[in-house]
A and B are shown apart, each in its own frame.
Chain A
Amino acid sequence: MKAKHQRLTLVLLAVAALLGASLLAAYALQGQASYFYTPSDIAEKQPEVGQAIRLGGMVEEGSIQRGADGVTVEFVVHDGTSKQPVIYTGITPDLFVEGSGVVADGKLMDGGVFVADTLLAKHDENYIPRELEGIDMTGTQHKTETLVQ
């Protein structure tokens, strides 16, 4: 009987541990997964200020402006229909040029500007991230991160 008792305790502990881990995972998924938006999606769905978002589209021609401090850059992301201004502090990825595709992780702030924490890039001439199929993109991408304030 004793051995069975021990076994049961073990099994219960195991179940509890796994349950705990699953709950942790579920909670983390809810709070930490970020949804993908194009500028049109932002205009339509109006996500909350401060929510973690991934923004994708093309960098509008003529929109890249470097700030006076030399390290902040403002630009506009478009998807053929809508536009979204973005501000990013940091070294931009290689091949971040007007007309190229970009995917940025960050948040929408009061006033409608998107503050980017990371700019995403990719390394194969013929690669198009699945999220951006249907939006024009050539060229490759790299990823950089913004300055942690």
Chain B
Amino acid sequence: MKRWLLWVPLGLFAVFFAIVAAGLMRPKDNIVESKMVGKPIPEFTLPAAVEQRPALSNTDLAIGEPQMLNIFASWCVPCIAEAPQLLELEQAGVKINGIASRDTPQDIANFLNRWGNPYTRIGTDVRSIVQLELGSSGVPETFIVDSKGVIVHQHVGDIRKEDVPELLKIWKDAG
């Protein structure tokens, strides 16, 4: 009777391992697609975030060519990490509009001066109301919008170097 008892701890650990491994696999599905994918950009108008760029409203996002909408903030560290990739995309011909979430003009201006400014227009969303309506759950997030202003893709989190080719492809196909 005693022999098999000795294997119980290992058995329990195996069960624990299985449960947790299954749990780890899960978060990949939990990066939930915004409920808005496939839907048009909701109506909104945001004032200009900084002097150097005009204000942003939903009509600017349905202009007959695909573009990207990037939600960022000066206090967001991954936004610094993705800044080079945004500049790279802009140089590849992508029009990028920005929404600054819960931020101040001075901080946004400083952020853009330091990390680069790939945006055509930037709206300031001080209470993150528009961000909520877009189904965004944090910063940074980037939406790819087609020529009619319908959301075709949502990229949650910062854009890494390896993400750039795929995003470019989706943007081209968005026509």
A interface residue numbers (CB < 8 A to B): 58, 61, 80, 98-99, 125-126, 128, 130, 132-139
Contacts and interface: CB of A to CB of B under 8 A. Distances in A.
A136 B128 CA distance: 9
Contacts of A138: 101-102, 128, 131, 138-139
A137 B127 contact: no
A98 B127 contact: yes
A99 B35 contact: no
A135 to B, nearest CB: 7
B35 A134 contact: yes
B132 A58 contact: yes
Contact of A139 (B34, B77, B78, B102): B102
Interface residues of B, number: 23
B136 interface: yes
- In the complex, which of the residues B75, B101, B129, B132 has the most CB atoms of chain A within 10 Å of its own CB atom? B132
Contacts of B76: 125-126
Interface string B15-31: 00000000000010011
20 contacts: A58-B132, A61-B129, A80-B132, A80-B135, A99-B128, A99-B129, A126-B77, A126-B78, A128-B137, A133-B30, A133-B32, A134-B30, A134-B34, A136-B131, A136-B137, A138-B102, A138-B128, A138-B131, A138-B138, A139-B102
A134 B36 CA distance: 10
Nearest to A135: B137
A98 B76 CA distance: 21
A132 B30 CA distance: 10
Contacts of A135: 137
Contact of B137 (A61, A125, A132): A132
